[in-house]
Amino acid sequence: MGLSGKRMPVAAAIAAVVLPAVAQGSGFHLMTQNASGLGNAYAGHTAAAEDASTIYYNPAGLTRLPGRQASAALHAIRPSREFATGGASAAPAGLASPGGNGGDSGDLAAVPNAYFSWQFDPRWWMGVGISVPFGLKTEYEPGWFGRFQSRRSEVKTVDINPSVAVKLTEAVSLGFGVSYQKAEVRIERSVLLLLVPPAESFARIKADDGRFGWNAEAMFDLSPATRIGVSYRSSMEHTLTGTIAFSSVPGVGTAVNTVSAKLEFPDAFSWGIAHQLSPRWELLGDVTYTRWSRIKAVPLVTTSASAVAGAGAVLDTFNFQFKDSYRVGVGANWKWRDDFTVKLGVAYDRTPVVDAFRTVTLPDADRTLVAIGGKYRVSKQATLDFGYLHMFMKDVPINQSRGLGAVAGAQGNVIGRYEADVNIVSAQFTYRF
């Protein structure tokens, strides 16, 4: 982002600020939608149906829950992401970088979810879930040399998912749900102004959108010991709209434009299995396929005219080129005693990010998940689930020497490697009425 006129610094910076952070939210799907599955690394999540949180993974599993019950969980998620420069990283135009490599860009986040289920007929169930399906925060130290690509980015989503389930036979159940999802984006980034000498401005963006989607599921009891679950969640095309404000623009002061960008959150298909090997051992497994390849090129368009850009202008087109991803998981439950079950799990999850298109707002990588947890039956009505999960992430390269249009290097160079891991601790309380 570097231009000499009054109109172009802001217009160029808009295109460089919004979309990488949006990709961060859509490119990192949070599996932590309950604590009862975390100890298994969510292996077999579409077939587990342990409590009301099955509303998110497979509402057909509600038919295994008599009466009414409520579940609430809280997850403490701590990602660690550190960048090591390859020696060629630098802010544009020789501007100073007192923040260096940017430090640890991960930050602690508390993620809640809650569910309620109700059997109102021998064959029919209904329920509602409130969850956070997408979200991530990346924040670097002020003054780091990559601040012209991103200084701080945060994406939050909240999903409200009423669902219904029916038991067709003793062996076959179906589920269906409708989701309303709210997405919010907050971004901060430096902006290069090509003056004499070059100057640094700062940009902040706020954008949001609400969108409807749907999900359909089924559960099949192959035998008294084995069941299979299948789940499909639809894509959602968010149209993010909001404002972007630039401070200290010569001759303008604070410049504001409204902007819009369409980004389709992907659909996903999951298959899971649960098998009761013995009275004390249960085995779990799953495969999930997510169509991230729906996200290729995403244009950014102004929606109002101002002193810095006209309405309807395509400011930039981001070429993400995401690939489809998959995850596989296996787990086991060991009934140590009547009131306590030990949970174990491991999973592999492939990133949708291609090395050539990795950004500082989404330095994502293939990962291996290892988890342990437990379920304690407090009383006939109440249970407590808890677990710990560690995510080993592959070291990955980044080579973002970013310009904009004819202005080479306007967003600086970030060249090197990322090292990352994630720790998650979760707890959940379930009460049956």
Supply the pLDDT for residue 199.
Answer: 83
Say yes or no to pLDDT of 432 above 70: yes
343-390 pLDDT, tens per residue? 999 999 999 999 999 988 888 899 999 999 999 999 999 999 999 999
In this prediction, residues 270-284 reach a mean pLDDT of 97
pLDDT of residue 376: 98
Report pTM: 0.89
Calculate what percentage of the chain has a pLDDT beyond 70: 89
Which pLDDT score is estimated for 309? 64
Separation of alpha carbons 311 and 23, rounded Å: 24
Bridge partner residues of 25 (DSSP)? none
Per residue in 208-227, pLDDT (tens digit) is 999 999 999 999 999 999 99
The reported pLDDT for the residue numbered 26 is 33
What average pLDDT does this structure show over 149-169?
A: 93
Planar angle of CA 84, 90, 95, nearest 5 degrees: 140
Instruction: Compute the mean pLDDT over every residue in the chain, rounded to the nearest whole number.
Output: 87
Domains, in order of start, for the chain:
2-432 (2.40.160.60)
Q: What is the mean pLDDT of residues 146-162?
A: 91
CA angle, 11 as apex, 6 and 13 as ends, to 5°?
A: 105
Among 11-20, 271-280, 412-421, the minimum mean pLDDT is found in: 11-20
